[in-house]
Amino acid sequence: MTDATLAEGPTRPQSTLRRLLRRKLAILGMGIIATVTLGAIFAPWIAPFAPQEQMFDGLTLEGAPMPPGEKFWLGTDLLGRDLFSRILYGARTSLIIGVVANGLALIIGTLIGVAAGYFRGWIGAVLMRFTDLMMAFPALLLAICLAAIFTPSLWIVAMVIALVNWVQTARVVYTETSALAEREFVAAEKTLGAGTARILFRHILPHLVPMIIVWGTLGISTTVLLEATLSYLGVGVQPPTPSWGNIIFENQTYFQAAPWLVFIPGAAILALALSFNLVGDALRDVLDPTQRGRE
């Protein structure tokens, strides 16, 4: 809905997708995201075992975890649980947190950014100083402190990540909004007697949509990584609920003997974060006309 894309007429949503599908890396990313999403949704039907079930034959005679094999495709963990099933259920954790936490962060960031950019004067000043303040916090330390304050559950972790991650969005939305507020069409609307709400929702927000889509996609990648890191440190999603991060947390003491317990969930985290980065980057090229032609 930016000026450049408006010119292309009403087929815009289609053409965005079509342009996206012309990029191999974006297809790769969307493919991985689709696979992970399907795996997460249909986990109860796909998973060969229950994720919490400690199998009597899940450990070797010496009590060590089983390496990947015929019965346990990706091996078993220290407690004799099937790693493949836990990874599938862990995908739910990653995706739920990725979408919820990032959605919250986007909403907070957009509201603060738009308010600060549109309302000059003290509201804008206070909001942006607060954003600067949040930028000065070491993100991970803040998240760990917050997670330690509230006993972490899935939703608490999502909230903590949102509270830490909205800052970047607020800054870009602020810059964009304050530039838009100066433009002639906004002045024209004001002259015609449009109210603040009308200007914000009918004129400013639609211009921000492409940027929010891009930042929203890239942000899921950051969120997935942050959730994994918190869970790896033991202050994120708590066992026995599986998360790719806490699978590594639970098994890392044994990682020299059973490296698959660390590197398979690690590869899953990397793949998901990478996909959202690839798709977000492609979306930026497609949606943001100022970036076009740079590559």
Partner 1 sequence: MLAYLIRRLIQAALILLGVSFITFFLLFVLPADPVRQIAGRSATPETVANIRHQLGLDQPFVVQYWRYLTGLFQGDMGRSYLQKTEVATLITARLPATLLLMLGAIVAELVMGLTLGVVAAIRRGGALDQSLMITSFVAVSAPQFVVGLLLLYVFAVKLSWFPIGGYGSFSNLVLPALTLGIMGSGWYSRMMRSSMIDVLRSDYIRTARAKGLRRFRVLALHAMPNAILPIIAMIGIDIGIFMSGIVVVESVFGWPGIGQLAWQAIQRVDIPIIMGVTLVSACAIVVGNLLADLITPFIDPRIKLR
End-to-end CA distance of the chain: 22
Scanning residues 158 to 217, which ones bind partner 1 (CB under 8 A)?
Answer: none
Burial pattern 96-122, b for ≥16 Cβ within 10 A else e, equals bbbbbbbbbbbebbbebbbbbbbbeee
Scanning residues 88 to 147, which ones bind partner 1 (CB under 8 A)?
Answer: 129, 132-133, 135-142, 144-146
Q: Which of 247, 273, 283, 287 binds partner 1 (CB under 8 A)?
A: 273
Give CA–CA dist 210/50, Å, rounded. Answer: 41
The reply on whether position 74 binds partner 1 by CB under 8 A is no
- Minimum gap (Å) between residue 1 Cβ and partner 1: 27
> For the chain, how long is the longest CA-to-CA vector?
81
The reply on whether position 266 binds partner 1 by CB under 8 A is yes
Q: How far is CA 8 from CA 5, 25, 210, in A?
A: 5, 25, 15
Q: Which of 278, 283, 286, 287 binds partner 1 (CB under 8 A)?
A: 278
- Minimum gap (Å) between residue 135 Cβ and partner 1: 7
Give CA–CA dist 209/199, Å, rounded. Answer: 15
Q: Which stretch binds partner 1 (CB under 8 A): 68-76, 93-101, 186-194, 263-271?
A: 263-271
Burial class (CB in 10 A: 0-12, 13-18, 19+), 52: middle
The reply on whether position 61 binds partner 1 by CB under 8 A is no
Asked whether the bond before 240 is cis by omega within 30 degrees of 0, the reply is: yes
- Minimum gap (Å) between residue 143 Cβ and partner 1: 9
Scanning residues 211 to 250, which ones bind partner 1 (CB under 8 A)?
Answer: 221, 225, 228-229, 232-233, 235, 245, 248
- Minimum gap (Å) between residue 2 Cβ and partner 1: 22
Counting DSSP H helices and E strands in the chain, the numbers are 13, 0
The reply on whether position 83 binds partner 1 by CB under 8 A is no
Give CA–CA dist 102/213, Å, rounded. Answer: 11
Nearer Cβ to partner 1 (48/138): 138
- Minimum gap (Å) between residue 219 Cβ and partner 1: 13
Q: Which stretch binds partner 1 (CB under 8 A): 51-59, 111-119, 172-180, 257-265?
A: 257-265
Helix, strand, coil percentages in the chain from 3-state DSSP, rounded to 5? 70, 0, 25
Give CA–CA dist 284/292, Å, rounded. Answer: 8
Give CA–CA dist 119/113, Å, rounded. Answer: 10
Applying CB under 8 A, the site for partner 1 has a residue count of: 42
Contacts to partner 1 by CB under 8 A: 25, 129, 132-133, 135-142, 144-146, 148-149, 151, 221, 225, 228-229, 232-233, 235, 245, 248, 252, 255-256, 259, 262-263, 266, 269-270, 273-274, 277-278, 281, 294
